[in-house]
Every structure is written in structure tokens, then in C-alpha cells.
């Protein structure tokens, strides 16, 4: 298909077909999720499930690529769906205006080949990871604070987020993003790495960040891949 001609030969025609048959759930549609959705729609992932219960507000405009002044007050999930349909009408896209919780997580995750964690709460990230492990679905998790970003890819049998955040029951300080804010280029940088990990998982190709955490400090210009196990 002509629309994917510039994907080739970085991707083979067979890989393009594989992506077209893939189902990805993006959980959270803010700074990370907006970027991830844009990139997955453009590269040709065939089916996207998008969920976020928030509506855009003016504080989102500094970084969230799906937000515009005209969309302040508008549900993020609706904006994400509209963006996907405008970019690539071949993508089957389903959106949900709601938050991930114990009541809906298993159903959402169970229908996906891969889940992408773009949430903004550490507790909900653990809830999502639990659902992915129960469903046997891989998870690509990204997080940001200020000019700092982190990415990890978690397969169901991997220890996962406890290696990064400590035991889920342990006393833990709130995420440092509450103090540091979030910048546009950092959000899209981490979103790009999440999209890259997602494509590699779907295609079963390339090096993955399994049991390793990539830590990027864009102000210090340091990039570490930490062995977690």
C-alpha cells in the first residue's frame, strides 16, 4: 500500500501485514499516550483500543500533542480516536471515556496483543501490570518527570514494576513529577521509545528493554540502561 511505502524497507511487507493484524491497547492518553497513538496509527498498527477518563484542560497544552485550545474541556479519548481516524482510516479504533480499574482491566487487556502503559499514577500502573500478567500480555511502560524519562518492557513472566518502584505495598514517595512538572519534548521522546518497543514486540524483532530500565536525563544528557535482574 502506497501510504506505507516509506515504512519499507525498515519494515518488510510481511511485517507491515503483521502490524495490520495487531491489536494494541493504550492506557492513558496524556503526554505519553497522545504521542504513542499518533505513531502507532501512522506506522500501521491495525487495531487500537484507547482509554482515558480525563478531559483536556489548559495545563495540558504545554505538552499533550492531542490537546488544542479548541479542545479544552473535551474528552481525551474522543480526541485520540478522531486523530487516529484523521491520520489513518484503515485503523480500527475503539475509545473509552473512563479510567482503568479493577472492574474493567481484565476485559481491556484480554483483547490486546500488547498493552502500553501511559498512565500518571504508580498505583494504577501496578493494577495494569497485574491484569497484563493474568492475561499473558506484554506491557510497555513509560514514565516522565521534568526532563527525566524511563521505559521498560515487561513480559508476563518478568518481575516487572517492583524492580523499578519497589514492592507495591512498600511505603513510597509520590512520583517526583508532582514537583518537577512535565515537558513536551520529554513526553514525546519517551512516547517514541515506547512506540519503538511496541513495534519490536509485535514483530518479534530487535533488542528489547526486558528486565532493563532505560533512564534518560535530557538535561544532563545521560542515557543509562540499568540491568534490573
Give residues in contact with other proteins (CB under 8 A).
Answer: 28, 30-33, 118-122, 125, 142-146, 148-150, 163-166, 170-177, 179-180, 182, 213, 215, 217, 222, 224-229
| C-alpha–C-alpha distance, residues 40 and 30, integer Å | 15
Given a contact cutoff of 8 angstroms between Cβ atoms, the answer to whether 44 and 20 are in contact is yes
Positive/negative CA dihedral, 144, 172, 135, 85: negative
Q: Which is nearer to other proteins, 11 or 195 (CB)?
A: 195
To other proteins, the closest distance from the beta carbon of 173 in angstroms equals 5
Q: Are strands 114-117 and 92-96 parallel, antiparallel or unpaired?
A: unpaired
To other proteins, the closest distance from the beta carbon of 196 in angstroms equals 17
To other proteins, the closest distance from the beta carbon of 147 in angstroms equals 9
Q: Which is nearer to other proteins, 82 or 218 (CB)?
A: 218
Given a contact cutoff of 8 angstroms between Cβ atoms, the answer to whether 44 and 7 are in contact is yes
- Name the one residue in this structure whose C-alpha cell is 494494541: 24
Q: Angle at Cα 27 formed by Cα 22 and Cα 29, nearest 5°? A: 110
To other proteins, the closest distance from the beta carbon of 175 in angstroms equals 3
- Cell output for 219: 538535561
To other proteins, the closest distance from the beta carbon of 206 in angstroms equals 20
To other proteins, the closest distance from the beta carbon of 145 in angstroms equals 5
Q: Which is nearer to other proteins, 18 or 51 (CB)?
A: 51
DSSP code for 218: T
Q: Which is nearer to other proteins, 18 or 100 (CB)?
A: 100
Q: Which is nearer to other proteins, 19 or 66 (CB)?
A: 66
Cβ neighbour number for residue 198 with a 10 Å cutoff: 26
- Cell output for 150: 524511563
Q: Which is nearer to other proteins, 90 or 123 (CB)?
A: 123
Given a contact cutoff of 8 angstroms between Cβ atoms, the answer to whether 73 and 55 are in contact is yes
Q: Which is nearer to other proteins, 86 or 173 (CB)?
A: 173
To other proteins, the closest distance from the beta carbon of 179 in angstroms equals 5
Given a contact cutoff of 8 angstroms between Cβ atoms, the answer to whether 139 and 132 are in contact is yes
Cβ neighbour number for residue 143 with a 10 Å cutoff: 25
Amino acid at each position: 500500500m502506497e501510504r506505507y511505502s516509506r515504512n519499507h524497507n525498515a519494515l518488510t511487507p510481511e511485517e507491515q501485514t503483521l502490524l495490520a493484524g495487531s491489536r494494541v491497547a493504550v492506557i492513558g492518553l496524556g503526554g505519553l499516550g497522545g504521542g504513542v497513538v499518533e505513531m502507532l496509527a501512522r506506522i500501521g498498527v491495525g487495531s487500537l483500543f484507547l482509554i482515558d477518563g480525563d478531559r483536556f484542560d489548559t495545563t495540558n497544552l504545554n505538552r499533550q500533542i492531542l490537546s488544542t485550545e479548541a479542545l479544552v474541556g473535551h474528552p481525551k479519548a474522543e480526541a485520540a480516536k478522531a486523530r487516529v481516524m484523521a491520520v489513518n482510516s484503515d485503523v480500527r479504533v475503539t475509545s473509552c471515556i473512563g479510567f482503568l480499574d479493577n472492574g474493567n482491566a481484565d476485559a481491556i487487556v484480554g483483547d490486546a496483543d500488547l498493552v502500553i502503559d501511559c498512565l500518571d499514577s504508580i498505583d494504577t500502573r501496578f493494577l495494569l501490570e497485574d491484569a497484563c500478567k493474568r492475561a499473558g500480555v506484554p506491557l510497555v511502560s513509560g514514565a516522565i518527570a521534568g526532563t527525566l524519562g524511563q521505559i521498560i518492557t515487561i513480559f508476563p513472566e518478568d518481575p516487572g514494576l517492583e524492580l523499578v518502584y519497589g514492592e507495591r505495598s512498600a511505603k513510597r514517595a509520590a512520583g517526583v513529577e508532582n514537583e518537577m512538572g512535565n515537558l513536551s519534548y520529554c513526553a514525546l521522546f519517551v512516547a517514541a521509545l515506547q512506540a519503538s518497543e511496541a513495534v519490536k514486540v509485535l514483530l518479534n524483532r530487535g533488542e528489547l528493554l526486558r528486565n532493563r530500565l532505560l533512564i534518560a536525563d535530557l538535561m544532563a544528557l545521560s542515557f543509562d540502561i540499568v540491568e534490573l535482574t
